[in-house]
Structure 1
Amino acid sequence: MEKVIAVLMRADPSDEWCTQLRGPVADKLLALGLPGLAVNVRDDAVGGSLMTMTVLDPPIGAVVSMWTQQCYGEQMTAALELLAAECEQLAAYLVTESAPLPGPDIEPGARTIGFANVVMLRRPAEMEQAFWLDRWQLHQTSVAIETQSTFGYTQNWVVRTLTPGAPGISGIVEELFPAEAIADLHAFFGAAGDDDLKDRLGRMVASTSSFGANENIDSVATSRYVFRTPFHT
């Protein structure tokens, strides 16, 4: 089983477009027989996020996670062709998924509670991959979970790109947050007060700076819809 993450870039991800993705487009993807499918859309429900950061142009409008038996097979080829027709630019990545903090089970097709923050990480050119992975997976993982109000945390290490011209991305993080964290920094970090917020921010910045994740990243809040998972019946 392989996981593919498709990043749909679009200058204006309208609510109508987001509804199309999680409706008719998701139905067509499911009809291909994908063992797993999750659609994250940047709709009005997540507007005004305090943590939005953009490097990509056009910016991220949606992120679609798909599980398949062959990332290079006909099924995935058809899925990516379908998604490419829905955006200005499509970038797809084969990833290995780690889930230090699995999110809650939600009724298939229903909106996941709160919101999902998706972050695109880039490894600094001068940093060795082994060191970068060590800092991200063995150090940042615990810091992120301890200093934020996350109730779901997934790391996706990018193995290779699957589409021509895909921007260089080293890792993709999916974090679930309570709804109030969208516009409240204290709620985002789960801080009890200003001093606690300062402490949590300091720990986070120190950790992300150690592997270059304090800059040159894309961070976008999304509404998450899980339609099918290969891990549960």
Structure 2
Amino acid sequence: MDSKAIAAVWGEDLSATLRAPDLVEECAAAGARRLQVNVGDDSVAGAMRIDELDPPIDAVVSVWAADLAPVLDVLAGRVARLAAWEVDERAPLDPVLPADGTRIEALSNVAFLRRPGDLARGDWLHRWLDEHTQVAIDTQATFGYYQNIVGRPLTADAPAVDAIVEELFPMAAVSDVHAFYGSDGEQQELERRMTRMLESVSRFGADRHLDVVPTSRFDFVLG
């Protein structure tokens, strides 16, 4: 059975590096059955980002494999720095997407969340997964929504992260807040959605100490 890892990546020219055919082939040879590359590029320039880590995350790579370590070793050899975590994925919104390495027509926001120290893990998971999920779907124009609970770090220098969320938005959301929230240009509805969303995320600490990386997404099914 495949496990999933998500890696934060730092380096130069990562859009080309992480999608290079020889790297994809090498990951497949190392045992990867699927590879997802999320990288900041010109297509999402101008989208809002939030940086808790210094230096900021440049790209995010997700890997599915029976043995994650060999694939992460391949990736680490091509970038300046890589920090990875094993995760358990839930997908409340999981559309059928191209898997041939072409760009997904979307703004893909990847958020790295941290549990507040005064909130027990069980309560945090309940507030996030059981209470917040439908609020996020109802108040935003997302058409893809992936919740990844961090199980353990896979690299020695991995920063403290408790969850990693990916949300897919229409491309117009890069520069249009109404497109982001799905409020159809109605200011009152926009304010209602924003208020409800902020109230919900604040209940489990996702209104602070987080990284939000706007990216373009590329999927590769390898076997």
TM-score (norm 2): 0.93
* TM-fit CA distance, 1:81: 2.1
Q: Is the 8 A contact 1:122 1:169 kept in 2?
A: yes
Please say if 1:140 is aligned against 2:144.
no
* TM-fit CA distance, 1:28: 2.0
Provide the alpha-carbon RMSD of the alignment. Answer: 1.5
Q: Is the 8 A contact 2:31 2:66 kept in 1?
A: no
* TM-fit CA distance, 1:53: 0.2
Partner of 2:214: 221
- Secondary structure of the residue aligned to 1:21 is helix
Partner of 1:26: 24
* TM-fit CA distance, 1:103: 2.5
Separation in structure 1 between the aligned mates of residue 7 and residue 215 of structure 2, nearest angstrom: 14
| Structure 1 residues 2-81: aligned runs within 5 Å | 2-10=3-11, 13-14=12-13, 17-23=14-20, 24-50=22-48, 52-70=49-67, 76-81=68-73
Consecutive unaligned residues in structure 2, runs of 5 or more? none
Partner of 1:211: 204
Question: Which deviations, in whole Å up to 9, do the C-alpha atoms of 1:128-173 show, x marking residues without a partner?
Answer: 0000000110111101111101000000000010100210000000
Q: Name the amino acid aligned to 2:218.
A: Y
- Secondary structure of the residue aligned to 1:176 is strand
Partner of 1:202: 195
Q: Is the 8 A contact 1:8 1:83 kept in 2?
A: no
| Structure 1 residues 85-124: aligned runs within 5 Å | 85-124=77-116
Number of residue equivalences: 220
Separation in structure 1 between the aligned mates of residue 43 and residue 24 of structure 2, nearest angstrom: 19
Q: Name the amino acid aligned to 1:31.
A: A
Partner of 1:73: none
* TM-fit CA distance, 1:47: 0.8
* TM-fit CA distance, 1:62: 1.0
Q: Is the 8 A contact 2:85 2:151 kept in 1?
A: yes
Q: Name the amino acid aligned to 1:186.
A: H
Separation in structure 2 between the aligned mates of residue 229 and residue 174 of structure 1, nearest angstrom: 21
Q: Sequence identity, in percent?
A: 43
Separation in structure 2 between the aligned mates of residue 86 and residue 25 of structure 1, nearest angstrom: 8
Inter-CA distance 30–229: structure 2 relative to 1 (3 Å threshold): closer
- Secondary structure of the residue aligned to 2:215 is strand
Q: Name the amino acid aligned to 2:7.
A: A
* TM-fit CA distance, 1:57: 1.3
* TM-fit CA distance, 1:117: 0.6
Separation in structure 2 between the aligned mates of residue 129 and residue 229 of structure 1, nearest angstrom: 35
- Secondary structure of the residue aligned to 1:197 is helix
* TM-fit CA distance, 1:33: 3.0
Q: Is the 8 A contact 1:58 1:88 kept in 2?
A: no
Question: Which deviations, in whole Å up to 9, do the C-alpha atoms of 1:83-118 show, x marking residues without a partner?
Answer: 223333211000000001102221421111112110
Q: Is the 8 A contact 1:103 1:176 kept in 2?
A: no
